[in-house]
Amino acid sequence: MINVALYQPDIPQNTAAIIRTCACFDIKLEIIKPAGFVLNEKKLNRIYMDYVKNCEIKIFESFDSFINAKQNNRVILFTTKSKKYYYNFQFEKGDTLLFGSESHGVSEEVHNTIKNKMIIPIKKDTRSLNLSSSVAIAASEALRQISLKN
């Protein structure tokens, strides 16, 4: 129904938790390389346990290969550099929710390429949510909206 994409993730525990979330919600996970860790690392195994067999994962070697594959679908970037709230956006089947890496977000090129940019509003004196929490929040809202349309 929707996809979640991680741009150059660098904390294996977060990626493992996102694999678990995607498995539970039946969401395809896409990972855009390079990642800051080996994808079969033991840290991942400890968190995703048997969830990985219930999660379709596609690896893209670069952002260019990812964006070329998305020509017929919308990509929505979740970023702190937006003023548009995610819950006001109208999600559709086939959307891909894109999240930047934990340490550096997305490149300026990626930011400039993506038309739809959303923010998950948080308290002003806090910096950011954990990546896996952000994915769960955004995916849950997208799935809720799509299910209401059916």
The Cα–Cα gap between 44 and 31 comes to 14
- In 62-132, at which residue ranges do the beta strands (DSSP E only) sit? 75-78, 96-99, 116-118
Count how many domains the chain has. 1
Q: Is the peptide bond before 9 cis (omega within 30 degrees of 0)?
A: no
Q: What is the largest CA-CA distance in the chain?
A: 40
Which residue segment(s) compose the domain that 89 sits in? 3-149
**Strand, helix or coil at 135?**
helix
Model-level pTM?
A: 0.93
- Check residue 48 and give its pLDDT: 61
User: Do the Cβ atoms of 56 and 87 come closer than 8 Å?
Assistant: no
The Cα–Cα gap between 72 and 58 comes to 17
Residues in the chain: 150
- Check residue 52 and give its pLDDT: 76
73: number of Cβ within 10 Å: 13
Q: Is the peptide bond before 121 cis (omega within 30 degrees of 0)?
A: no
The CATH number of the domain where 43 resides is what? 3.40.1280.10
Cα angle for residues 130, 104, 70 (degrees, 5° grid): 85
Closest CA to 103 of 4, 17, 8: 8
- Check residue 36 and give its pLDDT: 87
- Check residue 25 and give its pLDDT: 95
Low-confidence ranges of the chain (pLDDT < 70): 39-49, 150
- Check residue 38 and give its pLDDT: 78
- Check residue 120 and give its pLDDT: 97
